[in-house]
Structure formats: C-alpha cells, structure tokens
Amino acid sequence: MKKRASKLTAEELLAKHQVALNTFVRERWGEIPTELEVPLKALKSWGFDLVRGLRGGAEAIFVTPTEKGYEPGDTFEERGETFEVRELVKELGPKEKLFIEVTLEDRRGIIRGLHRTDVGDETVLFTLPAAELFLAFFKKRGYGKLLEAFHSSGITTEFIQKNGEAGKAYPFEALPPKMRRALREAQDVIKKHGGVGRFTLVYFGENKDGEDRYVVTWLLPTIRLFDVSLAENVDKLLAALD
C-alpha cells in the first residue's frame, strides 16, 4: 500500500517539532476508577430526588427530577409506566448505599446511579450521558472554567483551555512563574485528588496586549470529578492561568 506524503511544509514540520518538544507533561497512571459511593445529598446537587413509592403497582425506589416538585401522593406516567410517590427519602438506612458508575457505551461515557442493599439488591436509578450530567453539575456548582473547557467524556474526561494564537513554544527554563506553578500544582492535584490523570502545558509567550498565550489540557478519571475536592481544584487552576 502506497504511503501518503505529508502535506506539511518543512517549515510547518519544524514548528510542530518545536512545539512537541516544549509541551510539558505531568501525569500519574494506574487503574482508572469506574465506581464511586456518593452521599444522598449528591443526588440533590445533580437535580434528583430519591423517592420510595410504587412503580407499575409494585413497591420500588426511584428518582424524580427536583424541578418537577413531586410530593407524597402524586402520581405520574413516564415511558408507559405509572409511578406513585409515597415518600421523598431524606436519609438512607444503615444498610443502604448509593453508587455511581461510568461505562463506555455507544462511543460515549455513560453514568448510572445505583441503589444497593446489603442483601445484594440493586436498582438502577438513572442512566445519563456523562457529558449531560457534567454540564448540569458544573453549571449548578459554579465551575465556570470546567464548563468552558469541557471537551469529552468516556472513562476519562478531557478539558482543553486555550488563550491566544499559537506561536513558538517556550522551553521550560523560559516559562514565567505562573506557568511553572501550574505544572507543580497540577501534579499535586493529580496525586492528592485524582489518583491518576494527565496535565499538559505549552506556552507561547505574551501577545501585544501582555496576555499569556498557551494551551493546557487535563485528562482525569470521569468518576472522580464528582468529588468536589478534585473538581474545585481543577477549576481554580484553570482560572489562575487567566
């Protein structure tokens, strides 16, 4: 099979090589977590109420959108099934737990909310694209930088933040203190909060208005971003680059 010649000019290839050599990386890898136990209040922060009632005439536990405002005694129909709200769950019993898990289906990340008992009973409370849940979560929590930089979600989630046009990438020795600090802090965030992950930075100097030109990326375990300590730290680090 005949190989295609590169369409890059010698000058473009040299520029790409220069950027590649001066893209700095902080990363730590191991097993990527796909499940996380969460408190009941987390469901509320994602816009759900946990409900005990009847589903199709049988006792069940399920979730309803908080914005619907369902109260005990209300009934509704969804996808051909009839639901009756009997109790809005305020706290879980000692033998009940809530989990979220992430899987890759139909070429995208999917989040499932699960209710489990100690006898092995499991109920799927909701199934949503990770991107949909994240965008709502970031907006509600006020994580503006995560919202702007969100790129894609699978088992891991990627954020990309750019400012200004690309140019000649600076070597590490020429990075301003703010960029060196970002590399240090990213390494700490991955180690202390993410467990695993990857951060990259390439810096192109200032523009004519004195603003920094750069590209940074984060690649982090999707499930860990529901931990406020990780999400807040990443959001703050992105904000500090402006």
Share of the chain above pLDDT 90, in %: 74
Same domain, 126 and 207: no
Q: Which pLDDT score is estimated for 14?
A: 87
150 occurs within a structural domain: no
- The domain of 103 spans 36-133
Residue 198 has pLDDT above 90, yes or no: yes
Query: What's the whole-number average pLDDT of the chain?
Result: 92
Predicted pLDDT at 42:
87
Q: Which residues contact 180 (CB under 8 A, 6 or more apart)?
A: 172
**CA 104 from centre of chain:** 14
Is residue 5 a part of any domain in this protein? no
pLDDT digit string (tens) for 114-168? 999 988 889 999 999 999 999 988 988 899 999 999 999 999 999 999 999 989 9
Same domain? For 180 and 214 the reply is: yes
Same domain for 214 and 129: no
